[in-house]
Every structure is written in C-alpha cells, then in structure tokens.
A and B are shown apart, each in its own frame.
Chain A
C-alpha cells in the first residue's frame, strides 16, 4: 500500500485530567516527506506523536501508520522511533541491546552501516550506564534505525546533544530523507525545522496553526523589516507610512512595516542617504511568534 500516508491522524484529541493537550488535530504526512512538528513546550507535539505511535489510547480520533494500526505497523517493522522518555536497559552493553533489537526485524539495517550512520562505532562494548547524554541519544537513534524502517518518528531527538552533535544528527536525517525514508520530528528549535524539514507544521495549544514549507510559513507574516543606520534624531520615523514599530540598537534602526514600499518611498524622499539599508522578510521565529501568540484579551482572561 505505498499510496497510503506514512502517518495519518484525524480528529486526534488527548486529555490529561481536565486539560486538553491535543484538540481535534488532523495531520496527514505522505510517504517520503520530512516534516517538522514545531511548537513550544506543552504545545501538544509529544502527545500527538505518542498517540500516533499507540503508546496510549487517545480520548478521540483515529491514527494510522503506513495504513495500519500503530501497534501493527510497529510489529511489521515499518516504524522506528526515538521517544522523549525512551531509554536503555541497565546492566547491559550497547552491542547486546543493538543485537536484541536488530534481531526483531526480518530485514535489519546492515550493522556496519548502521553504526556509521548513527555514529556509534566504538561504543558497542560500552556499558549502557557509562554513556554520555549525546552518546545515549545516538544509541537510541541506532535502535530506531535498526530495522531500516520506512517511517521514522523522532520526538525532540537532539535535546541532549551539543551543537556539533545536532549538526551531525540532522545531516544524517537529511541523508535518510534522500534515501526515501519518511521523517517526522518534533522540535522547538526553529533553526532545525527551517533547515531540515520540507514541511513545517506549527502546533499551538493542541491545534495545527500553520502547515506548509518554512518559506510559506514565513510569508504568512506579511510584514517586512526595514533596517538602516541613522546617527541623527529619529523623530517622525513612527509616523512613516506602514510603520508598525520602531526598534534597533545604537545607530541601527529597525522599522517593522506592513508596507515596505510605501515606507521606503517616504524615507528616500525625506533623507539624502540611508547607509546600510536592508529590507528583509520575516524570520521563522517572527512567524512562529506571530502564529502562536494569542490575542491579548484571551491572555488576560487566563
């Protein structure tokens, strides 16, 4: 069934006591896609992924992985996952755990290549309890990859890694995506979503608030930023056409504007020079804040 989606969640609702963690969320991810679930802590990313993996029964909604029930898809060897609260058994060596897990798959990832891909060559003889945080994450990645599964689900996989570890990790993930694996990952790092995913799903308060390419999501923020150096007085800048906010540090002025062209025309008309002029689109961070910031009245009502 190669035409069924890799991950298909419809009307997913997850409640913890009285709190709604995931609110009638729909998410369909075709095979071969690399998708970031982007959201702040508590936005509902983990709950969505854990429910998708069948780790608990949601209050409502349906979940299909590769066209099957999650448990079935996992037992068929179609899914590999790095969980936020997953871990390794004590009193074992890395090699023993890896062998145990690889043997569960009919067609496991060849071991030498698996070790190189996960970056754990030389760790096989190591006691699990003696691993560093980053090494532990890489071993967990190796377990997730052990069956060479078509679908990889990664819940904040780089949380225990340093900057270099994160870069190496995402290089690996891009390589897997190029080989046709579907990669779905949760993150609150905007740069990860921007750099790795060909689709970003922004989750807030248990709902999807934006879904598209990183560029498309950035463009959801219509505004532009006009920057230039201005040693003199700044009076009147806020009154320029389109300007919604005046910021900047020292000589640098940053005008947030809803009408970049109008702002520029007015600036050029009244000033002889605009040193260091730049006009920029929104960053993913601005888009993210824009998308996930709730209206003030709703916030004050809390």
Chain B
C-alpha cells in the first residue's frame, strides 16, 4: 500500500528545490533570451500566474514603504524583535520534537513487526486532517487550568492544573499535529532503503543502535530534512494554534495589529518580515542539504526489506503509539463528543449547518479547481521547456509556499479595498486568496504527473498530424489526470481547514466551518464547536480516505 499525502512529501522537496539559485545565476550570465525569441502563450499565462503570486508581496512592500521612517523604528523595537524570537523558538522546538516523535513512529510502522502496524499508521497520520485550531481549542478544554482533566482529578484534591497557554501549549499542540509530516516523508525513505548497507554494517560488528545512528539515519537525512521543513513551514504560518494559545508569534501579532488598530502599515511590515524569515529558513535548509548523495551505487535490484523483530520492546512501542494516537486523535474527539452531548449554553447564535457545509465544501472545491487549472501552464513550462528562463519563471510559482494565510489575506484586503473595490468582499477574492496560498501544491502535483509522461508519446502524436492543442487534450491531460486530481484533492483538504484567509477575505455573511469554529471560540460558546468541528474532521477524513483509495488502486 502506498501512503496518502505522498504529494506532500514531494512538495517538500519541490519547495527546497524551488529556491535553489542556479537559475538566477545563469540568467545574470546570459542575455535575456526574451528579446530574440518569440514569447508563446504558455509563457504569457505563466507570467500572469506568477504575477498573481507576486502581487501580495508587491502590495505589502508598497504599504510597508508607506510607513516610512516610522516603520523602521517600529521594526527595530524590542517588541518586534521579541515576536521574531518567539516565532523562531517555536519553530525550532516544534520541528525538533516532531522529528523526535516522527522518526521512531515511521520506523515502527514500516520496518518492525509492531502488531497492527497499518492501523497505527492510519491513526497516527490522522492528526494531519485535524486543523490546529481544533486541536488547540480541544486541548485548552481538556488540559486547561480548570479543564476536563482537572474535573476528573478534583476528587483527588487537584484544584487547578498548571497553565497551558503560551509557549508550552502552542508547542505541544503544533508538535502533535505536525509530526505526521515527518513520519510520512521518513517512512517513504525507510521503505526505499537498501538493507544491504545496514547488513554490511552489522557484519562489520556495529551494534543495532550504532547501525541506526551511523547508517540508517544518514540515509534518511534528505527525507527527514524535507519533513522537518514542512513542519517548520506549517508552524511559521499557523495561526489557529498560536492565537488560541495566546502565544505572540508572527501570525497572531499580525492579526492583532490588523484587527485592533488603525495602523495597517505596521501589519504590512510584520507580514513582510514573516515572509523574509520564511525564505531565510528555506535557504538555510537548502544550504544544510547541499552536496550529499543518498542513492545506492551498486548494480542489480535491492533486496526485500527485513522486518526487525521488536521482542520485549513491543510493549514500550505499543505504549508510544497509543500515547500519540491518544493525544492527537482521541483527546480532540472525546472533547468534541462531550460538547456534542452537553447542553447548549447561551445558544444565541443559531446557524444553518447545511449552509455552512455547502459553503465549506463549495469554496474548497472551487479553489481546488482554480488551482488545478492555474497550475497547468507553469508545470508544462517547467517540464517541457529546456530554457533556463522558463524554468525560473515556473519556479517563481513555488514562492506561494512562503506566503502564510494571514499574509496573503492581508495583502489582498489592502489591494482590493484600495485598487479594485469591485472584487472587495466577494467570493472571487476569497478564491484568489486560496489560490495564491496553495498554488505551489497544485504545481508540484501537476509537475510530477507530467514528468511521468514520456515526451516521445507526445512527439509521436504530433508527427501523426495532431495540433499541439489536440495533443494536450487527447494525450497529455488524460495521462496526467490522476496526478492533477490528487493535487486538487490535497488543495481541497487544505482550503477546507484554512482559517485566517477565510476569516479576513470571506464576503460579508459568508460562513464556513472554520470561521464558525473561530467565532464560537471567540464568544466562549465552546459547545457549539462540536458540530462544525466533527463535520469538518469527517469531510477531511473522507477526502484522505479517497486519496488512500486511489493509491491502493495503483498498488494493485
């Protein structure tokens, strides 16, 4: 069985590659080929799409420049530096702890004789479909100073539990909901490992533990780096968990600045710094990863992997998996079900659940479709063109990886309110926001689908008299369809959970599961979160199952 979300793992590698600079360097070295060569429609479309991605950044720059000197003094204030520090420490801690949890989990579920491996794997990956804000709000309800756990412990004389708000809460929640990213990428690598290396090391007298450190782990480095990068990007851009845990990281500071002050320039400044930090992170990761190979150079096929027998370690391993699943899946579910069965306190804000569901699924599907279409020109350019300029152009779409939702939303609000009031507070603007934020996911999926098609087939079709458009329609697209669709489902899944973009860009009166959960959290009517929360998780889990299903189809 292949695992779902393989595209996520591929995305990470793409994100890493996206910012490698050989493309840029070569452009400086040679002339713009644009002047001599004709520009085809694919290039024009790609340029337009790149424009969409660059628009928010450009607009933020304009706004930030408007702040002038006052802006610079603001950025150099201790308060701003503290926000940078807060975000960086959170990213570092979450990434490390996600790796510490994710690697053994991946190993246990792929290379050992752990009982019910497949069940643990699926349960262990489920937290990925739970939005961080649901995780945070349920954790606060469960483990807050006077939360449900305290209620259970009350008879034992526990009057209150230690504070969960702040760094600790944000760290725990984000770790629990991001370790699957590490587990997925690492698991894929573990399954591809050549056991011969490990066996050779064992035969030369290394202990099992040493083999793991000196042979297995180095081989995992690229996968681990990719998973950790995904975790870091998620943590930097996450809004829900840090907002609810009241941890003053970038996203929360930007939202507060936007939502409680007249000074929008400062919000733009903070957003730009966040983008800069994200790009710096990608470069750093890229640098750390350079110059290592990790492929086998022997000839012949590699042997089947042998499962490690856990022996008496079976019980601690089962305990480890149970704790993970207990915290990451069971706690949120239990809290939501408790709310579902409790009396609706202060239910003064009725809502039409069917409308919420239609809105949520509708915009997600629409956004997925728009992304899938927008992804085609840059992917074709990247895969089928040999020109370096074209490659660089296509790669620029990957910049959308470094645009957190709150940044995209803020930029588009500024842009629409001032420049194009006609689309301000409309559905198209919301879709544009989603598309900007998630374009790179679509491009990655489409690119990898296209690279799997042998260009000879297309050439043969051309030689038999088909026009390029006919080739695209009759040969390329049918062959790439499944990959593109997988990317669309992934985008759909992400959009469904997206909070800050929806919160800021949604048309007046347009509510989704995500905004409803946020509103009920703000109103402290937590029991009202149960229904939208469970529905959202249900739909997300359904989509994940669909992706799983597809992969199984391929496998058989």
Partners in one complex: no
